[in-house]
């Protein structure tokens, strides 16, 4: 028999076979309210955004939608993070909610429970928004049947003609870590663990430039309504910037909207990416759309730091992307490379 007791607020005692063993307290306490960035698993996930962040984000919201909704739309925001937990998750969820409320483009429900991804519940929605979901965010580690049912429900939802939108860590899901198998050994190849999802979301994470790194963003499709809010020559952003494993992302599958202007990136920042994971093609997409079955997918790689949600063009880009996923905003979603 094994039981764990907590005494004196920090010291754990484990009862194993009638003997008590002391457990060392965590060397990394759970972060306080108002922190930014994020934390690794092991702490309760916060579900409320900082009011100052919310009010500042609300000042950046567009006044009207990019397209008139064909009918009343409903969006489900899923916020469950099993791996790294971003502090910006509650703020991103509020962004989706208030975008819909202010523009009249959709109504929003927010959940931190993956049990919401089931066929009966999903009948109520037109799109799902993956809010920096990490790890095996749909899985029930104690029930393979539930895991399989949730996965199939998500795939069927999109392929049937509905929408999927994701931000930042939605691509930091269902892949191996790529960490070295032993000290001093080179990193292992990062591989996807759920190919259907990896392909549907567009790729999977393998490296990021940490916050704050200034990134020059290139507009790959200046004619798209999803990039109309950006200047045609591009823009700059300071955030944590995700990149994808080379074998997981392809312009032959997705329509790229924006990407890192890698040619203009300084050599010092380029050198921060390990040679073992560096893309050989210099292709670092940031946002894109694609068709999956009869459905539509939109993804944006930035969104790590709270102050990104203060940027008017960025928030407008999210509005357009979600409206595309809902099927209300028409856009060229043919693959960027034939």
Q: What's the number of domains the chain is made of? A: 1
Domain-embedded: residue 291? yes
Residue 130 belongs to domain with CATH number: 3.40.50
Confidence of residue 28 (pLDDT cuts 50, 70, 90): low
pLDDT tens profile 175-190 = 988 777 777 777 778 8
- Range of weakest confidence among 125-139, 249-263, 276-290: 276-290
Domain-embedded: residue 236? no
Domain-embedded: residue 64? yes
Mean per-residue pLDDT of the chain:
89
Domain-embedded: residue 188? no
pLDDT surpasses 70 at 14: no
Domain-embedded: residue 72? yes
CA nearest to 330, candidates 66, 104, 62, 63: 66
Report CA-CA distances (Å) from 164 to 32, 58, 72, 83, 155. Answer: 32, 23, 17, 21, 10
Report CA-CA distances (Å) from 121 to 76, 97, 150, 326. Answer: 10, 19, 11, 17
With beta carbons less than 8 A apart as the criterion, state whether 309 and 95 touch: yes
pLDDT tens profile 121-179 = 999 999 999 999 999 999 999 999 999 999 999 999 999 999 999 999 999 999 988 77
Report CA-CA distances (Å) from 298 to 12, 127, 168, 176, 181. Answer: 45, 11, 11, 23, 34
Domain-embedded: residue 112? yes
pTM of the model: 0.89
Domain, as residue range, for 133: 46-176+196-204+287-326
Instruction: Strand 2-7: give its sheet, edge to edge.
Output: 2-7, 11-16, 19-23
């Amino acid at each position: 028999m094994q039981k764990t007791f907590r005494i004196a607020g920090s010291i754990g005692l484990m009862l194993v076979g009638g003997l008590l063993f002391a457990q060392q307290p965590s060397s990394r306490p759970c972060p306080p309210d108002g922190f930014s960035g994020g934390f690794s698993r092991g702490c309760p996930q916060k579900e409320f955004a900082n009011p100052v962040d919310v009010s500042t984000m609300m000042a950046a919201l567009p006044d009207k939608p990019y397209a008139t909704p064909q009918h009343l739309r409903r969006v489900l925001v899923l916020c469950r993070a099993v791996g790294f937990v971003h502090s910006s998750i509650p703020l991103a969820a509020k962004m989706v909610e208030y975008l819909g409320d202010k523009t009249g483009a959709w109504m929003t429900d927010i959940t931190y429970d993956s049990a919401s991804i089931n066929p009966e519940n999903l009948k109520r929605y037109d799109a799902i928004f993956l809010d920096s979901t990490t790890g095996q965010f749909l899985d029930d580690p104690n029930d393979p049947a539930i895991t399989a049912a949730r996965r199939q429900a998500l795939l069927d939802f999109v392929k049937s003609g509905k929408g999927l939108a994701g931000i930042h860590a939605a691509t930091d899901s269902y892949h191996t870590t790529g960490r070295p198998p032993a000290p001093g050994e080179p990193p292992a190849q990062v591989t996807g663990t759920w190919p259907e999802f990896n392909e549907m979301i567009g790729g999977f994470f393998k490296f990021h430039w940490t916050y704050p790194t200034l990134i020059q963003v290139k507009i790959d499709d200046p004619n798209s309504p999803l990039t109309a809010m950006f200047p045609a020559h591009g823009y700059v952003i300071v955030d944590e910037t995700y990149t994808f494993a080379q074998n997981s992302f392809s312009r032959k599958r997705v329509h790229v909207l924006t990407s890192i202007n890698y040619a203009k990136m300084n050599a010092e920042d380029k050198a921060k990416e390990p040679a073992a994971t560096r893309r050989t093609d210099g292709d670092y997409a940031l946002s894109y759309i694609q068709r999956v079955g009869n459905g539509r997918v939109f993804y944006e790689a930035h969104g790590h730091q709270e102050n990104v949600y203060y940027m008017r063009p960025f928030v407008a880009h999210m509005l357009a992307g979600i409206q595309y996923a809902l099927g209300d905003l028409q856009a060229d979603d043919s693959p960027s490379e034939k």
